[in-house]
Homo-oligomer: A and B are copies of this chain.
Amino acid sequence: MKAHLSRWSLILAVVTALPGYAGEGTKPLVLASQGSFFVGGESKTSKELNSNTTGPLLAGEAGDITINQMYVQYQTPVKGSQHAPVVMVHGCCLSSKTWETTPDGRMGWSEYFVRKGHSVYLADQSSRARSGFDATKINAVKLGQVPPSELPNIFMVSHQASWLVFRFGPTFNTAFPDEQFPVQAAEELYKQMIPDLNAFLPTPNPTWINMAALAVQLKGAVLMGHSESGFFPEQAALINPTGVRGIVSIETPCTTTLKPEELSKLAKIPILIMFGDHLGDIPGPLGSFWPTGFDACNKFVQQVNDTGGDAQMMYLPKMGIKGNSHMLMQDKNNLQLADLILGWIDNHVERKKNAHPK
């Protein structure tokens, strides 16, 4: 591992003169405000709230619960009001923890964006983490009212599959020589990985609706998604583009079958797509996943721009930034990548208003 770190240092020194990120986080963080709230949510009446056979709250008693809500946690910097708020939404089998302290204990994108003057809103996807999920169908199966075959899939990804899908290296516990993910802390990433219950959700995904509503509530925001949620900002904008000032899609398979009128909607919003390295370097059945997704995104970028839009692909290796994994926000050069996004927001979302402070 030490050999990798040395090589990584060397590569960084050659490729780019990195600003002094090592000191980030040592200065106090000054917030104008922070807090949490929910977007969306609707009442559902059910008799499958539990399977108790004794006690004061019994199976079979009807009552209302709230489902499909989206939990949002925010921080606003003291000097941030002039910058576009950024909404960050995590990917499959993860929560908003994605954007916080990295597995090896460095500053994540959520705090860094705040320190750079942006209000940041972290959303747990509807049906995940603090947003809760609709468990009535599971209880209905236990109570014998519904056959087990009707249970939606709960999706978990193993350590072994994660290592490959997240492109840490060609085989489990072997890293690429230039790997940017802090693989020595992979166990800490695995703790972040939690069951994905998106198959329990109705269509369209309430998270899309809630993201669009949040952007309106914020009177304009940049929506950022990653992996499973990478195209959620686009889906949110298709539902209601009113509040969507910019879109950042991180490492996601793009949709290339949008209708002309849908592309026209998206062509009014600046779009950034970012991909890391080693897309085609994973052997086995997962090998075609990222190359296919990357190709689709390049096609999508072309489609948006052909419709008069402002879409940009940042393919990091092509920019001389090598070795990045699927978890760009946790990689060792995560703050360098954050600066690329902040610069893009400056130039594409805020250019007409005011420049980003250096």
Find residues 10-65 in chain A having any chain B CB closer than 8 Å to their own CB: 25, 28-38, 41, 43, 49-52, 56-57, 61-65
Give the oligomeric copy count: 2
State the CA gap A52–B156 with chains docked (Å). 11
Q: Cβ of A66 and Cβ of B35 under 8 Å apart?
A: no
From known contacts A28-B30, A159-B65, infer whether A36 and B97 are also in contact, taking CB-CB under 8 Å: yes
Q: Choose, from A141-149, A217-225, A271-279, the stretch at the interface.
A: A141-149
State the CA gap A285–B57 with chains docked (Å). 9
Q: Which residue in chain B gives the minimum CB-CB distance to A187?
A: B66
Does A160 have its Cβ within 8 Å of any Cβ on chain B? yes
Chain A interface extent, by class: 35 or more
Indicate which residue in B63, B192, B194 contacts A161 across the interface (CB closer than 8 Å). B63
Q: Cβ of A101 and Cβ of B35 under 8 Å apart?
A: yes
Does A130 have its Cβ within 8 Å of any Cβ on chain B? yes
Does A203 have its Cβ within 8 Å of any Cβ on chain B? no
Q: Which residue in chain B gives the minimum CB-CB distance to A156?
A: B49
Q: Cβ of A156 and Cβ of B50 under 8 Å apart?
A: yes
State the CA gap A103–B25 with chains docked (Å). 31
Q: Choose, from A131-139, A297-305, A310-318, A346-354, the stretch at the interface.
A: A131-139
Q: Inside 8 A of A181's CB, which chain B residues have their CB? A: none
Does A96 have its Cβ within 8 Å of any Cβ on chain B? yes
Q: Cβ of B153 and Cβ of A50 under 8 Å apart?
A: yes
From known contacts A66-B187, A130-B130, A131-B194, infer whether A101 and B142 are also in contact, taking CB-CB under 8 Å: no
State the CA gap A31–B156 with chains docked (Å). 35
State the CA gap A69–B187 with chains docked (Å). 11
What is the CB-to-nearest-CB distance from A55 to chain B, in angstroms, rounded to a whole number? 9
Indicate which residue in B36, B105, B289 contacts A101 across the interface (CB closer than 8 Å). B36
State the CA gap A97–B70 with chains docked (Å). 12
Q: Inside 8 A of A51's CB, which chain B residues have their CB? A: 151, 153-154
Indicate which residue in B31, B56, B63, B135 contacts A28 across the interface (CB closer than 8 Å). B31
Q: Which residue in chain B gives the minimum CB-CB distance to A96?
A: B130
Find residues 171-185 in chain A having any chain B CB closer than 8 Å to their own CB: none
Indicate which residue in B37, B49, B111, B141 contacts A157 across the interface (CB closer than 8 Å). B49
Does A259 have its Cβ within 8 Å of any Cβ on chain B? no
Q: Inside 8 A of A286's CB, which chain B residues have their CB? A: 56
- 4 other contacts beyond A51-B154, A129-B130, A131-B194, with CB at 8 A cut-off? A29-B30, A35-B105, A52-B153, A63-B161
Interface residues of A (CB under 8 A from B): 25, 28-38, 41, 43, 49-52, 56-57, 61-66, 69, 71, 73, 78, 95-97, 100-101, 105, 107-108, 111, 124, 129-133, 135-136, 138-139, 141-142, 144, 148-149, 151, 153-161, 187-188, 190-195, 285-286, 289
Interface pairs A-B: 5 shortest CB-CB? A63-B158, A132-B194, A35-B101, A135-B195, A38-B191
Q: Can you identify 23 A-B contacts, CB atoms within 8 angstroms?
A: A29-B31, A29-B34, A30-B30, A35-B105, A35-B107, A35-B111, A36-B97, A49-B157, A49-B158, A50-B153, A50-B155, A50-B156, A56-B289, A63-B161, A64-B159, A64-B160, A65-B159, A69-B191, A71-B97, A71-B191, A97-B130, A129-B129, A136-B156
